[in-house]
Amino acid sequence: MIFGTGILQGLMVTLKNFVTSYFKAPDEGGIFTVEYPEKRLPEKERFRNFPFLLYDKNPENLRCVACDICAKECPPKCIYIVREFDKDGKPLKRPAVFDIDFTVCMNCGICEEACPFDAIYMDHEFEIASADRHAKLLYHRDDLLKSNEYFHKIRPTDASAIDARRREAEEKKKAAEAAALAAQKAKEAAAAQAKPPEPPKPAAGA
Ligand code: SF4
Ligand code: SF4
């Protein structure tokens, strides 16, 4: 065994990559360094960074029902939720406050896994660096809202599967409601038939 052959082999790899970088395109193995931010690689579909809140069609239709499960499951406790109430003090199924402190969030994705309402998902957005952590990195409800179309754009496989599951659940729910309504009507009709006829009313003046 000759000492130093490993070093020489390593240097040959470096030399080969240095030379080929001048003659080959990046996708052919020519350049290994992407010159970010001028150039960037597309993110992988399962790439995750910070969470966002999903809405259907318009931001009023956010899916979050303020159940607080994600806040309880979040390991560093960086989600803060306050439920919305109507003018009579009745609780509504939506958050008035939904804050996430991105300086604390550790990108674990547990909130996404824990949410039973398909309301929170991990985003691809990562260029959020700021020197002002309180004003810029504490995200409020409206900063977190993103549409289902956006979700389809960044994670088409997951978004399509989730939409299909939700559609199926909705159809099953409608079928069960229709069956319950039909059963109720049949019960009422049977009860009306079983009722004894009312005795004839006495004639006027008798
Ligand atoms: S995002 Fe999901 S888990 Fe979190 S409060 Fe909203 S509905 Fe509940
Ligand atoms: S990704 Fe993890 S740390 Fe960040 S908000 Fe969700 S549960 Fe909390």
How is residue 62 annotated by DSSP? B
Residue nearest to atom 3 of ligand 1 (CA): 115
Of 55, 61, 84, 79, nearest in space to 69 by CA: 79
* Amino acid 110: pLDDT: 98
CATH number for position 78: 3.30.70.3270
Query: 105 CB less than 6 Å from ligand 1?
Result: no
Question: 17-75: per-residue pLDDT in tens?
Answer: 888 888 877 667 776 677 888 888 888 999 999 999 999 999 999 999 999 999 999 99
Question: 158-198: per-residue pLDDT in tens?
Answer: 999 999 999 999 999 999 999 999 999 999 988 888 877 67
* Amino acid 40: pLDDT: 85
Taking the C-alpha atoms of residue 31 and residue 21, their distance in angstroms, rounded to an integer, is 5
Residue 91 lies in a domain: yes
Residue 117 lies in a domain: yes
Mean pLDDT on 136-151? 96
Query: 74 CB less than 6 Å from ligand 2?
Result: yes
Residue 108 lies in a domain: yes
Shortest-distance ligand to the CA of residue 73: 2
* Amino acid 1: pLDDT: 62
- 110: containing domain: 51-163
Taking the C-alpha atoms of residue 159 and residue 75, their distance in angstroms, rounded to an integer, is 25
Mean pLDDT in the chain?
91
Q: Cα of 71 to ligand 1 centre, how many Å?
A: 8
Query: 137 CB less than 6 Å from ligand 2?
Result: no
Residue 68 lies in a domain: yes
Q: Cα of 102 to ligand 2 centre, how many Å?
A: 9
Residue 42 lies in a domain: no
pLDDT at 205 over 60: no
Mean pLDDT on 90-112? 97
Residue nearest to atom 2 of ligand 1 (CA): 115
Shortest-distance ligand to the CA of residue 99: 2
pLDDT at 104 over 70: yes
Taking the C-alpha atoms of residue 157 and residue 135, their distance in angstroms, rounded to an integer, is 34
Contact 78, 119 (CB under 8 A): no
Taking the C-alpha atoms of residue 60 and residue 139, their distance in angstroms, rounded to an integer, is 18
- Our separate counts of H helices and E strands in the chain read 7, 6
Residue nearest to atom 4 of ligand 1 (CA): 70
Residue 60 lies in a domain: yes
Q: How many domains does the chain have?
A: 1
Residue 69 lies in a domain: yes
Residue 134 lies in a domain: yes
Query: 81 CB less than 6 Å from ligand 2?
Result: no
Q: What is residue 108's three-state secondary structure?
A: coil
Beta-strand relationship, 120-122 and 79-85 = unpaired
* Amino acid 197: pLDDT: 67
